[in-house]
Amino acid sequence: MNDLQELYREVILDHNRHPRNFGELEDANRVVEGVNPLCGDRMTLYVKIIDKKVQDIRFKGTGCAISVASSSLMTERAKGGSLDEVESLFEQVHEMLTSDITGSSINLENLDKLAVLSGVREYPTRVKCASLAWHALKSAIAGSEDKISTE
């Protein structure tokens, strides 16, 4: 059970139960749909970018606890951030999810609450669940409005 609690930490369960920034954003100027073809999960990310800053960000969709919590935590953290900051955040989260932390330069303390997602690393089949939202965000700040897929 300990292993599982490492993955499903309280913060993740909380964000799954009560996702922050959930729903459509009417005045979004970037809308990206993310799809995980493996499980059929889909999420839509709405971002309002003004003066190279994420003024507002919301998401909706269906997904597993990891995917919903990752989206929720991401919106919480990205809101108000500059595009450069968000880009750097993406890189750090991506590395945290996919690389061996002992050999990595990632400082989990910098990631603050997002560090709860680090447990996903031990579950290779679930990494895509956690990274879907982040790929959608990267695509949104790159200015493309289209579908992205984890495959």
Partner 1 sequence: MSSVLESQNTLSHAHADILALRKDFPALQQDVYEKPLVYLDSAASTQRPQAVIDAVVTHERTNHANVHRGVHQLSQRSTEAYEGAREKIRAYINAGSCEEIIFTSGTTESINLVAASLGKSRLTDSDEVVVTWMEHHSNIVPWQLICEQTGAQLLAVPMTPDGELDLDEYDQLLSDRTKIVAVGHVSNALGTINPLEQIIAKARDADALIIIDGAQATPHFRIDVQALDCDFYAFSGHKMFGPTGIGVLYGKSSLLDAMPPYQGGGEMILTVSFKETLYNTLPYKFEAGTPNISGAVGLGAAIDYLSDINFEALAQHESDLLSYATTEFIKLPGARIIGTAKDKASVLSFTLGDIHAHDLGTIVDREGVAIRTGHHCAMPVMEHFQVAATGRASFALYNNRDDVDRLILGLQRALELFA
Q: Tell me which residues touch partner 1 (CB under 8 A).
A: 1, 3-5, 7-8, 13, 38-41, 62-67, 123, 125-126, 129
Residues belonging to the chain: 151
The answer to whether 15 and 69 have CB atoms below 8 angstroms apart is yes
Give 4 or 50: the residue with its C-beta nearer to partner 1: 4
**Nearest distance, CB of residue 115 and partner 1, angstroms:** 20
**Nearest distance, CB of residue 73 and partner 1, angstroms:** 16
58: which strand partners?
Answer: 46
Helices (H), 9-126: 10-17, 65-78, 83-98, 108-111
Q: Distance of alpha carbon 88 from its chain centroid, rounded?
A: 13
**Nearest distance, CB of residue 126 and partner 1, angstroms:** 6
Give 78 or 119: the residue with its C-beta nearer to partner 1: 119
* Cα–Cα distance measured from residue 58 to residue 70, given in angstroms and rounded to the nearest whole number: 13
Give 103 or 124: the residue with its C-beta nearer to partner 1: 124
**Nearest distance, CB of residue 53 and partner 1, angstroms:** 33
